[in-house]
Structures are given as C-alpha cells and as structure tokens.
Amino acid sequence: MKDTLQEIASGEPQPANVAEIEAGLSAMWRSAAEGVAPESAVTRATALTLLVYVDHENAARDVSNLIADVTRQNPCRAIVMLMEPQASPAGLTATVSAHCHIPVAGEKQICSEQITLHARGETGPELASVVLPLAVSGLPVYLWWRAGRFVVPAYFDQILRVTQHVIVDSARFSASGNDLRELAAWLEKYSGRIRLSDLNWARATPWRELLAQCFDSPDRRPFLDRIRAVRIEYEMESARLTTQRAQGLLLAAWFATRLGWEFRRAETSGENVPRTYYFQAGGREIKVERVVRKVEGGGSGVCFSLELEADGARFAFSRGLDGKVVRTLAEVPGLAPLGRIVRIEVLDEVEILNEELKVGGRDRVYEAALALVARMTSA
C-alpha cells in the first residue's frame, strides 16, 4: 500500500545563514512533534545528502514534488540550489521544509529534510559556504544536475570536492550535442573520483539488453562482426526529439565501443539534419544513419526504431506507440525469419533516480560511449 505524504514548511525565505538554517530546521521539527501521540512520533531519516541544481523557479517547484517521492525509498537531506544569475534583487535566501511518509496508521512518520537555496544575481560563489556545512557528515553526497544545460560554474569545484556521485539527464540537453561534449570533458577532468550517471542512458537499458540478446544464438553471433549499416529513427515530436537524439547517439557509440569500431568521419546534408557517421572495423566500413520522421500518435521512451544490416542478414527493432512494446525481427540467410513481441519496462524519472541512488561503482561502458559521442559530434 502506498503511504501518505505530509509536507511541513517553516516560514518565508530568509537570508541564507548556516546557523539560522539549522535553527529553522530544529524549530520545524519541534513544531511538528508538538501534540503528536507517542505512537505517531516523527522520525527524521537521512541516508545521504542529495544536492539538486536547477535553473528556474518552475523547475524548483517540480523538483520539490519529485524529492517527496524520492524520499520514500531514499531518505535524505535534500539541498535544492536554484540558480538565477539574471534575477534581481541579488541575494542568497533559504527556506526549509520536510517530506513525511506514514506507511500505515499508527506507525511512526518517516521524514526527510529539504533546504532550498535561491541564488539571484552574482551570489552563486557564496553557495559553497552554505552548502558544505549543511551536507550530512559521514554520509555520501550526490549531485543531481537537473538543468537544460550542462555548464558547471567554476565555484562548483568546492562542492564537487565532497561529491561522490553526479546524476544528469541528457534528455534535457540541447540536440546539437554541445552539452554531451561538455559532459564528456567534465568527466575526463574528474574521472576516477566522481561517479557519473545519466538517466537517459538508464532509460535505454532495456533496448541494449534486447540488442545483446538478439545475438545470443550461435547462428546469429557471427553477424555482429559483419555489421555494415545501422539505421536509427526518431520521432519528429519536439517533446521527445532531444531525448531520442541523445539516446540514439549513445546507442551508436555503445555499439562502436563494444564491437571495436574506429570512428572515421561524420556527414550532414544541411542545417539541423541528423548526421551520418562512418566507422571502420575488420577492413569494412560501417555506416550509422540517424533519421527523423513523423510518427502519428507517438509514445514515450527510446528511439522509434533501429535496424542493423550485416552481409545479407537484417535485424530490426521497432517500438510500439505505447512505448512499452518492442517488435523484433531477425532475418538470417538460410534460416526462417524470427520475430517476437517483447514488453519492456518503462520507468519514470523518480524510479530511475531512485535506482541510480542505490548503485555504486563507475559505469565504464557509459563513460566510453560518452567519450565517443563527444568525438562524433565534434567531427
């Protein structure tokens, strides 16, 4: 049974001062505990510090609602950093609140704290002096970068020194590939010290698994080393175009890095036209083509379809309009065509984030794919 959610807020925004924020949190908890029966006592729970970067007020409101759901599985102290360098009047303010969950009647409330810092004007450099003392000592620190651009200010270096894990979502980045290149350069700087996760990469996990499973059969495995063409199709609907372009780039790079393809060059037929990428492996040229086409109805999730050609064999994967069904087809010379319909799990943003907060260790496969995407989009 899904628990109920209770929000607790404490006052209006105040100038951001660590001592006053801590005092505000203490006052909020005292107020929440007053008049509550012992069997319903409030229990503060914190397993990690979750820093969240957002770049406008609407995003801050959205994030607050998402954090409420995140804390069901990952109780934490959340520090939301709302950065608006063009806003006025300049200043750094703070508000405190809590998300409380009551699993069943009579049990204790499990509550997590949220601190929202709003930096207007040129007050961003002051953030570290507030954020660092508020990070819970002895617990891991995660940074969720939930913004439309990946441009990390220089003053974030102090915050990154205490951060073990950065989570981004390339679905929010520009379709040009600039932000993926920025992300790859940033990762190279911090490689080995900070773990990087991409929610958009996680969304495509069921597709990578399907593609790998397609070649499990001994009859089909040899065709992996004979692939000559890859065609990735995207939906034209603007709400999903950036998501699917980034996924398609990462899928293409995943193929290349796993199969040892060497990137050669990129071609485009005009402004805003998806590129064609060329690779070399085993003396053969591999062409990876990205195609945007209109799809009536549309759905959510990964690129609309993907097709591989390998010396007379063809392997096709097509997503249904509901986003939860994939039709696969394998046509291999000398064998009967084999098709099947597979249901895949489509997780929402909070579900993916919760899983990433539980995972440890670097994702070297993603890191290699991201580095190649940077080369592909720079060519």
Predicted TM-score (pTM) of this structure: 0.90
- Per the listing, tokens 């409330």 go with 109
Q: Where are the domains of the chain?
A: 4-163, 203-347+364-378
Average pLDDT over residues 297-315: 79
Cα–Cα distances (Å) from 73 to 47, 110, 354, in that order, read 10, 11, 7
- Which two tokens mark 366? 């993603």
Question: In terms of residues, how long is the chain?
Answer: 379
Q: How many CB atoms lie within 10 A of CB 136?
A: 15
Q: What is the enclosing helix (H) or strand (E) of 44?
A: strand 42-44
Task: Give residue-wise pLDDT tens across range 273-292.
Answer: 568 999 999 999 999 998 87
SS3 41: coil
Domain 203-347+364-378 CATH class label: alpha beta
Task: Give residue-wise pLDDT tens across range 321-347.
Answer: 777 889 999 999 999 999 999 998 888
Number of H helices, E strands in the chain: 10, 17
Q: Among 41-55, 115-129, 263-277, 354-368, whose mean pLDDT is lowest?
A: 263-277
Comparing CA positions, the residue from 135, 184, 185 lying closest to residue 163 is 135
pLDDT of amino acid 289: 92
Question: What proportion of the chain, given as a percentage, has pLDDT over 90?
Answer: 59
Task: Give residue-wise pLDDT tens across range 181-191.
Answer: 999 999 999 88
